[in-house]
Amino acid sequence: MPPGWGGTLLVGLLHSIEIAIGATCLGLLIGTGGAFGKLYGGPVTRDLLAVYTTVVRAVPELVLILLLYYAGTDLINQLLSAMGYQRIDISGLAAGIFVLGVVQGAYSTEVIRGAILSIPQGQIEAARAYGMPPLLMLRRITVPAMLPFAIPGLANLWLIATKDTALLAVVGFFELTLATRQAAGVTKAYLLFFVAAGALYLALTLFSNLIIGRVEARSRRGMPSVKEAR
Partner 1 sequence: MPAEATAINMAARASLWLKPHRIVLILIALALVLCAAFFMRWDWLPQYWEMGLLGIWRALWILVVTCALGFTLAVPLGLAQAGGPFWFAVPAKVFCTIIRGTPLLLQLWLLYYGLGSLFPQYPWIRESWMWTYLRQAWPYAVVALTLSFAGYEGEVMRGAFAGVPKGQLEAARAFGMSRFKIFRRIWLPQAFYRALPTLTGETVLQLKSTPLVATISVIDIFAVSSKVRQDTYLTYEPLLLLALIYMTITGILVLIFSRIEARIPVKIG
Interaction with partner 1 in 66-85: which residues (CB under 8 A)?
66-67, 70-71, 74
d(CA 20, CA 202): 15
Between 68 and 145, whose beta carbon lies closer to partner 1? 68
Between 11 and 119, whose beta carbon lies closer to partner 1? 11
Least separation, in Å, of the C-beta of 229 and partner 1? 14
Nearest CA-CA partner of 141 in 157, 129, 152? 129
Q: CB within 8 A of 145, min separation 6: which ones?
A: 119, 120, 123
CA-to-CA dists, residue 31 to 25, 118, 166, angstroms: 10, 16, 22
One symbol per residue from 147 to 176: x for binding partner 1 (CB under 8 A), - otherwise; what is it? ------------x---xxxxx-xx------
d(CA 142, CA 40): 13
Least separation, in Å, of the C-beta of 57 and partner 1? 8
CB contact at 8 A, 157 and 104: yes
Q: Is 61 in the site for partner 1 (CB under 8 A)?
A: yes
Of the ranges 22-30, 59-67, 138-146, 221-229, which one interacts with partner 1 (CB under 8 A)? Answer: 59-67
One symbol per residue from 188 to 217: x for binding partner 1 (CB under 8 A), - otherwise; what is it? x-xx--xx-xx--xx--xx-----------
First to last CA, the chain: 49
Q: How many residues bind partner 1 (CB under 8 A)?
A: 41
